[in-house]
Amino acid sequence: MEREDILLMIPGPVPLHPRVLRALSRPMIGHRSKEFGKIYDESRRTLMKLFETENEIFVITGSGTAAMEAALGNLLKPEDMAVTIENGKFGERFTLIAERYAKVRPVRFEWGMPIELDSVEEALAEGGAKVVTMVHNETSTGVKNPVKEVSELAHTYGALFIMDGITSIGGDTVMVDEWNVDIGIAGSQKCLGAPPGLSAVSVSDSAWDAMVENPPYYLDLRAYRKSAAKEVTQTPYTPSVTLFYALHEALRMILEEGIEARKERHRRAAAAMRAAAEALGIELFPELNSITEYSNTVTAMKIPEGISDRDLRNGMLELNVQISGGQEHLSGKIFRIATMGNFTERDVLTTVQTLERVLKEYNIIKRIGDGMDAASNIFSR
């Protein structure tokens, strides 16, 4: 039996607002029609505001990983070199994708550890890098990486910079132009508050100039550019029209909320979750340095002694709140709670209260309320 009462507090997909759900049920239209072209144009203009860019933006029917592959597949030939920065699962994914197109020089850090610029520069100083990739907000570990500093290093050594902003764009400050990001990407099912299945890609002039002659067929960014320049704006291949309906409505809601207000809502919620963790004696997972910050869209915490990952997450699910565990070698060691997209303060407080109930059941904490008080104090400021 389907459960419709689950509070989804995982790092994507996020709960859908009723307006977005209603948009999904609109009648079908032609994907080459003026009506679709208007939806696409308006969506692209709003995305430019969220990316803080004057670069062209295109929307691919495909999840964020499709956009990651589009970025790399359009720039890399077998003889090229990609420097890929990893400190979590999605940084590692950039490496795995790049290996299918070119030579790769990974710069690896332990998952959850901060990026050290000296190590990045050492890799670049070896020479030959055409691109550098990095994840801005690494949801597998709850850490926000230093885009501006790494981009500066990449360009100092003559490389293009590719940024995964899939879980930060729409929920945190992202400045594609100011940070000199050559290709930036976002995903629909994260901070944008839309269903999974779409991704957005921004492309700089330098990136256009560096495109390969034979890119992936479906992910050919020049084809997206050509189609978007037609009298009636369109995509080169059949898009998921219903997902565009939903994205369009979700982006309208972002403008109504106000972009700065939305970022502040995400910031306060993440701060409230961290405050609750501290009050409950739960250790945050990632380690920081002077240029690394905690994520504003997901909080990664170590599982307290005395309770298993399974008991913690299943206990919360039985109380109608779904959270995430650790990925790969972090499975069973950490848990993650998202503050991403269409959540409310009440959702955050409900999640904290539910966490407290489970911890109390397993005698991890002696009383219920300390986490709620800490989180409420953040929201009351």
| Prediction pTM value | 0.96
For every residue of 111-152, which 3-state class applies, written as one string?
Answer: CCCCCCHHHHHHHHHCCCEEEEEEECEECCCCEECCHHHHHH
> What is the rounded distance in angstroms from the CA atom of residue 94 to the CA atom of residue 78?
16
Residue 114 phi, psi dihedral angles, 5° rounding? -75, 155
Q: Which of 3-7, 21-25, 239-243 has the lowest mean pLDDT?
A: 3-7
Q: Is the pLDDT of residue 1 over 70?
A: no
Q: Where are the domains of the chain?
A: 7-13+259-380, 18-255
7-13+259-380 carries CATH number 3.40.190.10: no
Across 321-333, average pLDDT: 97
What share of the chain has pLDDT > 90, as a percent?
98
Is the domain 18-255 a CATH 3.40.50.300 member?
A: no
Q: Look up residue 190 and give its two tokens.
A: 């994260």
Peptide bond just before 239 cis, omega within 30 deg: no
Q: Which pLDDT score, from 0 to 100, does residue 225 have?
A: 98
| Residue 75, pLDDT score | 98
N residues, the chain: 381
Q: What's the pLDDT score for residue 3?
A: 75
Rg of the chain over CA atoms, in angstroms? 21
Query: Across-strand partners of 302?
Result: 334
pLDDT digits (tens, 9 = 90+) for 281-296: 999 999 999 999 999 9
Cα 219 from chain centre: 20
pLDDT band at 381 (very low <50, low <70, confident <90, very high): confident
SS3 294: strand
